[in-house]
Amino acid sequence: QEPRPGPRGGPRPVDTPTPTATTLPRDDGEARILEAIEQARQGERYANVSEADGRLLRQLAEAINAQRVVELGTSTGESGLYFAMALRKTGGTLHTFDIDPDRLAVARENFRKAGVEDLIVIHEGDAHVEAPKLDDRPIDLLFIDAEKEGYDAYLRELLPLVRPGGLILAHNMRRPNPNPQYLDAITGDPALDTTFLLMEGAGMGMTLKKR
């Protein structure tokens, strides 16, 4: 069969494979965190972010020089380890929330192994109750990755604390099914601007709180 002609009748461009990249450690501290992530990934997984999602979290947190990152859904701490790679450079802190004490015990151990426990404050309990108790210092980056039904409520509860120019990242915008009220909230508000990233995987919503 003849190949179909490309645009303007010329030859069709050949699809090239999607390039891939990985994080190369720049110093011993980063190597130690990457090693802890690698070890955690060998064990049982608890709905943790993929490597690509985790690298995006680190890149965005470091790029905006985040001082305060708030994470809803610590699980065993893999996403927290990616944030830690950024925060050891920005001088910031991660406040991470989870309701499950067993997962938090594993997260604590992972943070200790990575040598980043001083960068992370763990809050145990229902994040709808605990996160609004944070003092009113501005949040540079809010990462929503707890129960999917709660996403829109988390946004209502914490958006006032996100600084203008700050980011709200939301995991699982493709699978499992995203919360429709959350999607409406981040795409229907003129004060926000949203892009969906890494949608070939679980999918990440990146929302800017406009200045």
Ligand X SMILES: C[S@@+](CC[C@H](N)C(=O)[O-])C[C@H]1O[C@@H](n2cnc3c(N)ncnc32)[C@H](O)[C@@H]1O
Binding site for ligand X (CB under 6 A): 46-49, 73, 75-79, 97-100, 103, 126-128, 145-147, 150
Tokens at 188, concatenated: 């229907």
Compute the distance between CA of residue 116 and CA of residue 70 in angstroms, rounded to an integer.
16
Q: Which is nearer to ligand X, 30 or 53 (CB)?
A: 53
Which CB, 3 or 176, lies closer to ligand X?
176
Nearer to ligand X (CB atom), residue 50 or residue 67: 50
Residue 116 DSSP class: -
Of 77 and 166, CB closest to ligand X: 77
Strands (E), the chain: 68-72, 93-98, 120-124, 139-144, 162-171, 192-197, 204-209
Closer residue to ligand X (CB): 100 or 117:
100
Residue 207, both tokens: 């929302």
Cα 50 to Cα 164: distance, rounded to the nearest angstrom = 28
CA distance 160 to 137: 11
Least Å from the CB of residue 157 to ligand X: 11
CB of 55 to ligand X, least distance (A): 12
> 176: cis peptide before it, omega within 30°?
yes
- Could you tell me the smallest distance in angstroms from the CB atom of residue 210 to ligand X? 26
Cα separation values, 44 from 39, 51, 206, Å: 10, 15, 28
CB of 15 to ligand X, least distance (A): 31
* Shortest spacing between CB 95 and ligand X, in angstroms: 12
